[in-house]
Amino acid sequence: MNTESNSRKCRNGLSVLGVAGSFLVMAWLVWLMRGYTQPHELAQARAEQRLKIKADFIAANAPLLNDYDWADKPKGIVRIPVERAKELILQEWQNPAAGRSNLLARAARQFPPAAPVVKP
C-alpha cells in the first residue's frame, strides 16, 4: 500500500511539474514573439505619413461632396451635396414608376444613342 501511494504522489508531482513547465515555455515564447511584433520606427513614421496623406485627401475633396458647384455648366449639370442628393432620390422614388421614367429620361439625355454603323 505504501508503494502505491508513493507512485501516485510521484505521478501527481510529475503532472504538476509538466503543467508548470508548459506555462513557463508558453511565457518564454510570448516574450520572444513580443520582439518580432513591435513596429519599427520606420513603420511608425510611414503610418503617420499615410494618415497625413489621407487627411489631406479628405480635406481637398470635401468641397466636392459638401458644396454646390457646376459639374458641366454648358450642359447644365450641377454638383450637389451628397446628403441633399439622398433626400432628392428618396423623394423621387416614392413613386417608383415616375422615378424610373425620370431616370431613363436623364440617362437618354446624358448618353444619347449612337448613330448606327453602316457597313459598305
Q: Are 84 and 69 in contact (CB under 8 A)?
A: no
Confidence (pTM): 0.44
Going through the chain in order, the beta strands assigned E by DSSP cover: 69-72, 77-79
How many angstroms separate the CA atoms of 55 and 34, rounded?
A: 31
Q: What b/e readout covers 71-81, taking b as 16+ CB neighbours within 10 angstroms?
A: eeeeeeeeeee
12-50 confidence digits (pLDDT tens): 778 888 889 999 999 999 998 887 777 677 778 888 999
According to the model, what pLDDT value does residue 4 have?
67
The three grid cell numbers given for residue 113, joined into one nine-digit string: 444613342
